[in-house]
Amino acid sequence: MALKDLLPSKLGFGAAPLGNMFRAIPEDEALATVAAAWDDGIRYFDNAPFYGAGLAEIRMGEALKDKPRDQYVISTKVGRIVLDEVEGTPRDNGEKGDVFANGRPNKVMNDYSHDATLRSIEDSLKRLQTDRIDIVWVHDLAQDFYGDAWIGKFEEARTGAFKALDRLRDDGTIKAWGLGVNRVEAVELLLDLDGPRPDGSLLADRYTLLDHDRALERLMPKVADRGLGIVVGGPYSSGALVGGPNFEYAPASPEILAKVAAIKAVADHHGVSMKAAGLQFSLANPAVAAVIPGASRPQRIAEDTAALKEPIPVDFWRELRDAGLIDRAAPLPR
């Protein structure tokens, strides 16, 4: 099934903040944020065992346990197993450091094999308190987590996770699968393989107002030609686009901050909010099936839904393009 047909709306909910990403979020605030998303009509929820070592899934399961299961879509991820053992030292999560330092202390084991994929799904079902998962993404199978060893991890997934997910999709246990990554190259490699038949992928931070050139040129045409879809994660570039200090989960560079300031100057001139600019830019590409900004406070949900409806003058996009702040080939909202 095409992702656009499977997903109930263009706006979904990214659950990474529920895993105490960057800060410890009180339980009641986390549950209230999911409740606000539901009340605003959001019916697509994305999660992962990696988010706080299972914490985000546990919280989402609690928040959605009484909702009619046929009224929403859940995606989660495989590639990591949450163990009962507790970490004795800080986790090494590649170039990102441990952005979930405030999550559960459980050890997380990287494993993209066939059996680990099935175990991961079973564990997620329990944490999410549900009987099925609609979409499964193979998580972080790229350079930012594994450096030069990422190709070896990809091969492990090719012979393990990909085959398992192909079978689960074909027998109706899940409805779709693909990669959930922060790098374009991994999705390109998946699409070039003979054998696996993914339905799309979740691409975080790579098709945003701040960073879209490589995805626009190399990936989006392939996705569209094959009738697949991309879910855009991190449409605010880890918060940098909307005034936050981080870009790609780390402190933003002076160059990125300067680009944000330049975009904001144009936005302020036209009376456009940065959230509206970010969400509507990503969604303008026909290959994009949905955007899933993360939220850790209930009021952020209302801001996101309002941003989708906010009118943006054509001259705003033209000025960004003429200033070289967006690629001239990028599809623009109409």
Q: Tokens at residue 193, please?
A: 């393989």
Domain count across the chain: 1
Q: Which residues, other chains included, contact 5 with Cβ-Cβ below 8 Å and sequence gap of 6+?
A: none
Q: Specify whether 207 is catalytic.
A: no
Q: What is the rounded CA–CA span in Å between residue 14 and residue 42?
A: 11
Active-site residue among 44, 46, 211, 275?
46
Residue 332 is assigned to a structural domain of this protein: no
Residue 95 confidence (pLDDT): 46
Residue 107 is assigned to a structural domain of this protein: yes
Residue 328 is assigned to a structural domain of this protein: no
Active-site residue among 4, 40, 44, 51?
51
Q: What is the rounded CA–CA span in Å between residue 37 and residue 99?
A: 23
Q: Which domain holds residue 218?
A: 3-322
Residue 270 is assigned to a structural domain of this protein: yes
Q: Specify whether 96 is catalytic.
A: no
Residue 75 is assigned to a structural domain of this protein: yes
Model confidence pLDDT, tens digit, residues 244-271: 999 988 899 999 999 999 999 999 999 9
Residue 330 is assigned to a structural domain of this protein: no
Residue 257 is assigned to a structural domain of this protein: yes
Q: Which residues, other chains included, contact 185 with Cβ-Cβ below 8 Å and sequence gap of 6+?
A: 142, 143
Active-site residue among 44, 72, 77, 211?
77
Model confidence pLDDT, tens digit, residues 198-226: 999 999 999 999 999 999 999 999 999 99
Contact (CB, 8 A) for 99 and 71: no
Secondary structure of 7-36 in HEC code, one letter for each residue? CCCCECEECHHHHCCCCCCCHHHHHHHHHH
Q: What is the rounded CA–CA span in Å between residue 62 and residue 249?
A: 27
Q: What is the rounded CA–CA span in Å between residue 290 and residue 43?
A: 12
Residue 252 is assigned to a structural domain of this protein: yes
Residue 178 confidence (pLDDT): 98
Domain CATH number, residue 64: 3.20.20.100
Sequential pLDDT tens for the chain (334 residues): 689 899 999 999 999 999 999 899 999 999 999 999 999 999 999 999 999 999 999 999 999 999 999 999 999 999 999 999 997 655 555 445 588 989 999 999 999 999 999 999 999 999 999 999 999 999 999 999 999 999 999 999 999 999 999 999 999 999 999 999 999 999 999 999 998 899 999 999 999 999 999 999 999 999 999 999 999 999 999 999 999 999 988 899 999 999 999 999 999 999 999 999 999 999 999 999 999 999 989 999 999 999 999 999 999 999 999 999 999 999 999 8
Q: Specify whether 51 is catalytic.
A: yes
